[in-house]
Each structure stands twice: as C-alpha cells, then as structure tokens.
Amino acid sequence: MQALAELKEQIRQALPDLDVVIGWQQGYDALHTSPLFIRSEEDIDKLVVNEFCVVNPATYLREMRGGKKVGLVLKGCDSRSVIQLLQEKLLKEEDLTIFGFGCNGVLNHTKLQARFGDIGFITSLENDGTNVTVEAGDKKETVPFTELCADKCLTCSYPNTLQCSHFAGEESAKQADSATDKALEDFEKLTMEERFTFWQDQMRRCIRCYACRNACPMCVCKDHCLANSREPKWLSEDVDVQNNFMFQLIHVMHLTGRCVECGECERACPMDIPIMLLRRKMAGIVRDVFAYNAGTNAEETPPLMCFKVEEPTIEERH
C-alpha cells in the first residue's frame, strides 16, 4: 500500500513537533482494528489503514484540549467532525495536524454478522474493493462490497480527507451509490403509528451504556452530560422505554446542525439500535431548511450559532 508507506513517512517527519498522532492498529483478530496512539518512532510501524478502520479518531479530541499538539489520521467522513468542531471554535487549528488519504469505504460488522452468523466465527476475509470473500466455518461466500459496507459509505461524497495538512497516496475516486439513504427512505414509508411502535420497541432494547454518546465526536460535554446530572435530575436510572427514548431524543436534538453523520453512535451501540435513522432525518431537515451540510466548510458559521433576521433559505410570510 503506497498510501500507508507515505502516511508513515509523513508522520515520522511531523512527530517531533507533536504530542501524539492518533490512527489505527491491528486489533485482536483480522476483522478488527483499534485506535493507535503514536508517541514514539516505534509506534509508527503499528499503523494500519484498511476497511476495518472504523473508529473516528476525532472522538478522542475532547480529551486532548488544552494546548496539546495532536496529529490525526482521518478518513473523509472523520475529517468533517474536525471541521465542525473548528467551526464551533472548540478546537484551535494550530494545535492540529491532519494526515489524509483516499478512503474506499469501511465494512460494517453488524452486516457481516447478519450474513455469516457470529462475527467471531469468520475465519478469513478478503476485499478487492468490489467484492468481499468471507470464510466462516465451512461456508465461503463472495458478496458485493456494497452489501457489507457501512451505510454511510453508500451515500458518501467525501471519500478524501478534507482540510488536511498532509495527503498520502492517490485520491479516492469513489462515487456515492445513491444520493439518499435507503434505510431512511424505507422507514419513512411507514405510517406515524408504525414508526412510533418501531421506536418504542428499539428503545426497549437500549441498555443506556452511553456508547453512542461517548463514541460521538460531537458530544463534547464529557462529564457534564445532562443524562448523568443528579442535580437537577432529568433522567431516571430506570432503563425503560420512556427514559431511553428521552435520552436518545435529547442526543439527537443536541446534534442538530452539528452531526456530520460519521455513524459512530450506531456502530458503537452493542445492541445494534439503528439510531442513525434519527440523525440522518435531522441532518436532512437542516439541509432542507438552512442549506447547510455540517463540517464541510470551515469558513461557514453553523446555522444554529448565528441569528439572521431573514434566513436566506427560509421563505417567510409577513
């Protein structure tokens, strides 16, 4: 991989001026990577870039505020969260060094699991970019990449890291397979009653582990989240439909005009609750109302961070 070699070289050169560079390393099996925190030369060789680099390294930025010089290896989708945070003035550009590359999409473990039994039964996986060949037990099957990749990759218009300081390898020419999210489209064909029943059933499954919140790069409140606040107490410790729903809706509302749809919340959910449906819906509304796509232009002011007497995209009747 040309890009990987280049990335390593770029990191090697930049590392003396940085406290840490966050990327990915091989995980406990062939199907997993885990975040890598590069602090020394020998850490650089552990870096991997592949279709399992799912974690958004920008999520760790909230722990690194306070003048630390941080390098990040970011996919296109990940880089949008950094831009949005810069727009919100929660980060300083001079503290960041972004290492970019062209991404051809990541695989989704939940889809792999649904197709091949448990994820831990998969013994080998090969991806040529178009097709994925998976071996699990005595089963061997070749499946189109688009059936196993993350939903966000199907609608991705930013396969190349945005606003990066260094770019390695060739740009990805990957095109979005569709402009709209199929899961959301299908969902919206349901009646309101059916949708409500669907969410009630999904919220029953939530265990309130807060993986969705903690994996979200935009959830910057850290230990001051109202879900944990005891005084005042907004949410009961009761893990029931009502309280889970309340938490999930608070989460979505707080991401209005901020969510960059990186999909980390849904990926992190151990119960595989499709909470991206809510995020995509909200982001779609923001696009419709404010013609704003979160985290794509650092010069732009997010719509909910300013007040305009006349919104150019909203037609008001006087």
Partner 1 sequence: MACKFISHEDTNQWLEALAKDHVVFIPVDDGGSVTFRPYGEGRKPVLDRMPVRSPKEAVFPQNETLLTYKYDKDPEDPERTSVRIKETLPKERAVVFGARPCGTRGMTVFDSVFVNDRIRDPYYATRRENTLYVTLACHEVESTCFCHEVGSGPADTAGSDVLLTPVQGGYTAEAVTERGEKMLEASFFADGGDKCAEAEAVKKATREMLGEAHDFSNAPEALLAVFDDDEFWDDQAAACLSCGACTYLCPTCYCFNITDESTGTTGKRLRSWDTCMSFQYTLEGSGHNPRTTKGKRLKNRVNHKFAYFPDTYDQHLACCGCGRCIKSCPASIDIRSIVKAAQARSAQKESK
Q: Is the dihedral of CA 129, 34, 150, 279 positive or negative?
A: negative
Choices 23-31, 124-132, 165-173, 307-315; region in contact with partner 1 by CB under 8 A: 23-31
As measured in angstroms, the least distance from the Cβ of 12 to partner 1 is 20
Residue 301 interacting with partner 1 (CB under 8 A): no
Amino acid at 314: I
- CB atoms under 10 Å from CB of 124, counted, come to 11
Q: How many helices (H) and strands (E) does the chain have?
A: 12, 8
DSSP string, 44-77: HTTB--STT--S-GGGGGGGSTTT--EEEEE-HH
Of the pair 6, 272, the CB lying nearest partner 1 is at 272
Of the pair 121, 196, the CB lying nearest partner 1 is at 121
User: Residues binding partner 1: what is the number (CB under 8 A)?
Assistant: 45
Amino acid at 308: K
Could you say which of 215, 218, 252, 278 contacts partner 1 (CB under 8 A)? 215
Of 59, 74, 64, nearest to 95 (Cα)? 64
Could you say which of 236, 242, 301, 313 contacts partner 1 (CB under 8 A)? 236
- Burial class, 227, CB count within 10 angstroms (exposed 0-12 / middle 13-18 / buried 19+): middle
Site string for partner 1, 251-290 (x = CB under 8 A): -------------x--xx-xxxx-----------------
Of 46, 288, 4, nearest to 168 (Cα)? 4
Structure tokens at 1: 């991989």
As measured in angstroms, the least distance from the Cβ of 182 to partner 1 is 17
Site string for partner 1, 35-74 (x = CB under 8 A): x-x-----------------x---xx--------------
Residues within the interface to partner 1 (CB under 8 A): 27-29, 31-35, 37, 55, 59-60, 110, 114, 117-121, 137, 201-202, 205, 207-211, 213-215, 223, 228, 236-240, 264, 267-268, 270-273
